[in-house]
Amino acid sequence: MNIRILRKLSALAGIGVLACGIVSAQDKSDKKDAAKGATPDMAEMMKKWEAAATPGPEHKALEPLVGEWSLQTKFWMAGPDAPPTESKGTSKTRWILGNRFVQEEVDSEMNGMPFQGVGITGYDNMKKKYVGAWVDNMGTMLSTTEGTADADHKVITSTGKMDDPMTGQKDKTVKYILRIISKDKHILEMYDLSLGEGDKGKMGEIVYSRKA
């Protein structure tokens, strides 16, 4: 083969190797830059996650609910103009999941039958709302609520949906007002908004008194 041709081929091969080296080096550099750029983003996301998961003053405002309680209940089963059905019961409320939620266990009666229920209340840092869930032995539904508090976090007003087996009505709007009177007393008022606002729609009231 002609010496000139061999030299040209060798030169082209050298250029090819050099070009591959440059591309490879550039690719590695791009990957390093991408990795460097991803690090702050991940750190920022973790900060947001931590902030959303950390209990704050809104959670601390639920502290007065924790303890053992005697209950005085009233339910206006036949409407606001009829005498209420009254009963007594007990309740135990404790912090769970690192003081992120309070869990309540109620043992009472309704219409002469044993009544047990479990409720969970917390504050959603992302929604900026108090949230709750409730289940009991008088039904198979899971009731959920969302709401806000007044400036002092002494009155928490929430709304949710409820199915009424007696009327067959589904997803009717209900309102709950939790009034924290003191560390030894709070009151939960329940309203059926389909009946109207105020006392006209009031369907229940539970007075919690701390056990000695």
| pLDDT tens, residue by residue, 29-79 | 544 544 455 566 898 999 999 999 999 999 999 999 999 999 999 999 887
At 12-35, the pLDDT tens digits run 444 444 344 434 445 555 445 444
One DSSP character per residue, the chain reads: --HHHHHHHHHHHHHHHHHHHHHHHHHHHHHHHHHHHHHHHHHHHHHHHHHHHS--HHHHTTGGG-EEEEEEEEE-TT-TTSPPEEEEEEEEEEEETTTTEEEEEEEEEETTEEEEEEEEEEEETTTTEEEEEEEETT-S--EEEEEEE-TTS-EEEEEEEEEETTTTEEEEEEEEEEEEEETTEEEEEEEETTS-SGGGGEEEEEEEEE--
Q: Name the CATH superfamily for 58-210.
A: Calycin beta-barrel core domain (2.40.128.20)
Write down the pTM of the prediction.
0.79
Kindly list the domain boundaries of the chain, sorted by start residue: 1-53, 58-210
